[in-house]
Amino acid sequence: MVFGWRFVLGLRSGPRSSPDYVSGCRVREARPGVVILEARSRLLTPDKVIEVASDRVRMSTFVRYERGLGRGIWTLVAPVHHRTEPFLLGDAASRRA
């Protein structure tokens, strides 16, 4: 996945050791129950919104196209994204349990 983020989408990641980043994505906003992560590339800027309420977690990804090519690449990548996100969320939940 990191390969795809960096070399397919061109996303720049931040330092993994920094509390300002999660999996290389910048924590743009954090408040009780909500975290917004941001990554940037020349082609697109995805924002991941993670909302936690009692026993539920909702994760949404919003993509802004910086160039026309970004739309084309995201069209190809989106089906993979839609299949892997639930797996990653489930894996994170099982590690916490």
> Has this prediction a pTM greater than 0.85?
no
pLDDT band at 94 (very low <50, low <70, confident <90, very high): low
pLDDT band at 36 (very low <50, low <70, confident <90, very high): very high
> Can you give the residue ranges of every domain in the chain?
2-96
Evaluate whether 39 touches 5 at the Cβ level (below 8 Å).
yes
The tokens for 50 are: 């993670």
User: What CA–CA distances, in Å, run from 6 to 3, 11, 46, 78, 85?
Assistant: 5, 5, 13, 15, 17
Q: What is the pLDDT of residues 41-87, one digit of tens each?
A: 999 999 999 998 888 888 899 999 999 999 999 999 899 888 888 87
The tokens for 25 are: 């994505």
User: What CA–CA distances, in Å, run from 35 to 25, 26, 60, 96?
Assistant: 11, 10, 11, 17
